[in-house]
């Protein structure tokens, strides 16, 4: 087993939409940026499944206070209201960032983003034209010179004199240990409520939370649950599974016959 040491200014752990976005924004300011992903940045995690994006545009009559109130009521006032406000207030600027990176959204006849409303919910969303969000962002990050290292599992943060100075992990394809020294480390390793029988995001095992917790970080922003439920008889079809094609499996054991779903996109 060999040990390799790398240096970068900003180290981003996880290359989903959050990690790619953080990397692009950091790189635009000048420093060297490296993304590490245990899968393939832009195609792993929950990012490939996101489709709707909530955008608050006051000149379309969107009521910011009403939207914040809706989220707070839903979150039983456990949510961070300041953070909720920032997310909505900056959502249109972020939408414009995404468009400038090449992410395509459905547009109305007037050329403005077409918005969709779900019944009983005050917020409005725009919709991706194609589910290729992460791949477009990966391309943008690469074009700016962001270094992307796929198939490396980060396991621990490295701390020196009460400061995080990097992270370490191992590549999936060799027996080496990789150590990354960095001036700043950004953890974007996704959620931790994984659902192996539903949407295939079982690689999201809370690694970032665990490594931060182990070095003594405070953890916040965990107020909301993922509401896409499954049941024991039919574990496959969670919300949104209309995109999946149902297939009978070759089941020979006694007991209920499970149903197998295949991606259709
Ligand atoms: C089925 C489904 C539908 C959804 N639809 C929508 C929607 O329409 N609108 C919406 O706003 N949101 C939606 N979401 C939620 C949205 O997709 C997520 O909130 C978003 O993808 C989170 O982005 P992220 O970058 O934080 O994490 P992720 O996209 O999950 O990326 C995390 C990345 O970190 C990597 N990683 C994890 N651990 C490690 C480690 N130890 N070392 C290295 N890399 C690691 C993973 O491989 C992955 O690439 C949906 C989610 C799902 C599952």
- CATH number, position 182: 3.50.50.60
Q: Are residues 57 and 181 in the same domain?
A: no
Q: Are residues 31 and 71 in the same domain?
A: no
Q: Are residues 79 and 180 in the same domain?
A: no
CA of 143 relative to ligand 1 center, distance in Å:
22
What pLDDT is recorded for position 132? Answer: 86
The number of distinct structural domains making up the chain is 3
Which residue stretches of the chain are H helix? 17-28, 64-74, 81-89, 91-101, 133-143, 207-214
What pLDDT is recorded for position 195? Answer: 56
Specify whether the CB–CB gap between 137 and 41 falls below 8 A: no
Q: Are residues 37 and 143 in the same domain?
A: yes
Closest CA to 206 of 187, 221, 193: 193
Ligand 1 nearest-atom number relative to CA 36: 43
Q: Are residues 56 and 116 in the same domain?
A: yes
Q: Are residues 260 and 153 in the same domain?
A: no
CA of 182 relative to ligand 1 center, distance in Å:
24
187 Cβ contact partners less than 8 Å away, ≥ 6 residues apart? 13, 14, 208, 211, 212
* Segments of the chain with pLDDT less than 70: 193-199, 225-265
Ligand 1 contacts CB of residue 182 (under 6 A): no
Whole-number Å distance between alpha carbons of 251 and 86:
50
Whole-number Å distance between alpha carbons of 103 and 137:
8
What pLDDT is recorded for position 28? Answer: 98
What pLDDT is recorded for position 264? Answer: 46
CA of 105 relative to ligand 1 center, distance in Å:
19
Q: Could you list the residue range(s) of the whole structural domain that residue 55 is in?
A: 51-130
Q: Are residues 118 and 71 in the same domain?
A: yes
Q: Are residues 219 and 239 in the same domain?
A: no
What pLDDT is recorded for position 70? Answer: 93
Q: Are residues 218 and 257 in the same domain?
A: no
pTM over 0.95: no
What pLDDT is recorded for position 198? Answer: 58
What pLDDT is recorded for position 118? Answer: 84
Question: Which of 97, 130, 163 marks a domain boundary?
Answer: 130
CA dihedral 162, 183, 176, 36 (to 10 degrees): 120
Q: Are residues 66 and 194 in the same domain?
A: no
Whole-number Å distance between alpha carbons of 89 and 35:
28
Determine which residue's CA is closest to atom 41 belonging to ligand 1. Answer: 154
Q: Are residues 126 and 141 in the same domain?
A: no
What pLDDT is recorded for position 254? Answer: 53
Q: Are residues 39 and 97 in the same domain?
A: no
Ligand 1 contacts CB of residue 226 (under 6 A): no
């Amino acid at each position: 087993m060999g040990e390799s040491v790398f240096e970068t200014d900003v180290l981003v752990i996880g290359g989903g939409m959050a990690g790619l976005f953080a990397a692009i924004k950091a790189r635009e300011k000048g420093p060297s940026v490296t993304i590490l992903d245990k899968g393939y940045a832009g195609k792993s995690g929950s990012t490939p499944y996101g489709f709707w994006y909530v955008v608050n545009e006051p000149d379309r009559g969107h009521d910011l206070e009403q939207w914040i109130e809706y989220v707070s009521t839903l979150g039983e006032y456990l949510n961070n209201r300041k953070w909720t406000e920032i997310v909505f207030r900056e959502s249109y600027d972020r939408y414009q960032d995404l468009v400038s990176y090449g992410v395509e959204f459905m547009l109305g006849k007037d050329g403005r983003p077409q918005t969709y409303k779900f019944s009983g919910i005050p917020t409005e969303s725009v919709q991706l034209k194609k589910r290729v969000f992460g791949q477009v962002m990966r391309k943008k990050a690469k074009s700016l010179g962001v270094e992307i290292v796929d198939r490396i599992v980060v396991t621990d943060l490295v701390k020196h004199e009460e400061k995080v100075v990097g992270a370490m992990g191992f590549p999936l394809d060799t027996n080496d240990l990789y150590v990354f020294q960095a001036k700043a480390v950004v953890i974007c390793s996704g959620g931790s409520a994984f659902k192996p029988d539903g949407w295939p995001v079982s690689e999201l095992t809370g690694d970032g939370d665990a490594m931060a917790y182990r070095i003594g970080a405070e953890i916040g922003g965990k107020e909301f649950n993922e509401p896409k439920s499954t049941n024991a008889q039919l574990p496959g079809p969670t919300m949104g599974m209309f995109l999946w094609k149902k297939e009978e499996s070759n089941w020979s054991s006694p007991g209920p016959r499970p149903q197998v779903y295949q991606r259709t996109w």
